[in-house]
Amino acid sequence: MEHTALALIELGAVFFVLGVLGRLAGKIGLSPIPLYLLGGLAFGQGGLIPLGDIGDFTHLASEIGVVLLLLLLGLEYSAAELFTGLKRSWMAGLLDIVLNAAPGAAVALLLGWGPIGAIVMAGVTYISSSGIIAKVLGDLGRLGNRETPVVLSILVFEDLAMALYLPILTALLGGVSFLGGLEAVGISLLVITVVLVIALKYGRYVSAIVDSDDREVFLLKVLGAALLVAGLASAMQVSAAVGAFLLGIAISGSTAHNATRLLEPLRDLFAAVFFVVFGLNTNPASIPPVLGWAVLLAVVTTLTKVATGWWAARRQGVGKLGRARAGAALVARGEFSIVIAGLAVSAGAVVDELAALATAYVLLMAILGPIAARVVEPLAKGLQRRRGHGHEPATSSAG
């Protein structure tokens, strides 16, 4: 069969199967990310139906998926909200780093993956999934709860931490010298500072440049600006993902709202391809040897995230039930963990087992996170009733 025809058939089959998996995830109340990863494992080398003719398209599409994921994440925040969240959550954010990055780094060192493997796995286990958490909070009607600003402020801190972490990781994966690494970090800090200042003081001008009443023109300008900034950031040794995230922060007001609404379908499409491509690059046979470590990390980092959310909510005067909800909400890992592992794998700087461990870990946490958020309230209420303490109402005024 002609190469183009075969590629179109394979690509069409992949998209159709992704649609089926996404619908299935919605039916059972889970994030589609685990199913997309499983789909990639099924279509990759060693899977049930290996595909070989769509590599060039899926590689570029997965890169666009990362850019759009981070762009829309940035569109959720204004620069002022970032600074406010940082002031409110910096102590909890530091605790979050210590408690949740350490397990991943420790396991990588125990497995002999070296310092770079430890830094990669630290990022994989540290960062919560903003996308999954936002969806779960919305689905459960908890956006108005007292603990929700605490959760969001921790997510903001994590996103800012990623803006520093990713350039450092990119430099290390590129094999640069210590001096070159310091230079990359300095450039990253300078770029981030400049963009945040521009976003804070001149964000309306950035919004005006990309804004348009014509949907087609607006889409082309926003998407073009995102890819342009991401490419320039990558050329300056700042992660393309961070470049897209910072552009999203610089776009504010109604322009950000309209851009989010317009780009969401594209984000969902290309992000799905990204997760599939990560699965394609992971041999299913490599997962069983690291599954025990994935389960261990899942148990430990579930407890550490719950502890982070509990402590942060307690500092804000939130009651016990709200503290439990805050901790459970932070459990999910997803897109950012796979982005980090994907950067390491594509650079060829880590062992294949790391990709397998990251895949198994995210599969577990993307499933466990929404479940934990749903069951924590009835579980906590049941424990309170057993102890004779009554219960707190699950309303926006609830502790």
Which pLDDT score is estimated for 41? 79
User: What is the CB neighbour count within 10 angstroms for residue 8?
Assistant: 13
Which pLDDT score is estimated for 398? 45
Which pLDDT score is estimated for 390? 46
- Domain-by-domain residue ranges, the chain? 3-386
Q: Above 80 in pLDDT, residue 238?
A: no
Joined together, the tokens standing for residue 279 give: 């699965």
The pLDDT-based confidence of 327 (bands split at 50, 70, 90) is very high
Which pLDDT score is estimated for 134? 73
Which pLDDT score is estimated for 244? 82
CB crowding 266-293: b at 16 or more within 10 Å, else e = bbbbbbbbbbbbbbbbbebebbeebeeb
Crossing angle (nearest 10°) for helices 3-28 and 33-43: 150
Within 8 A by CB and 6+ apart from 178, the residues are: none
The residue among 327, 328, 331, 314 whose CA lies nearest residue 399 is 314
Residue of higher predicted confidence among 111 and 88 = 111
Q: How far apart are alpha carbons 303 and 321 in whole angstroms? A: 16
The pLDDT-based confidence of 331 (bands split at 50, 70, 90) is very high
Which pLDDT score is estimated for 311? 95
Q: Above 60 in pLDDT, residue 100?
A: yes
Which pLDDT score is estimated for 177? 62
Whether the Cβ atoms of residue 18 and residue 39 lie closer than 8 Å to each other: yes
CB crowding 65-94: b at 16 or more within 10 Å, else e = bbbbbbbbbbbbbbbeebeebeebbeebbe
The residue among 362, 330, 367, 385 whose CA lies nearest residue 152 is 330
- Full-model pTM: 0.73
CATH architecture of 3-386: Up-down Bundle (1.20)
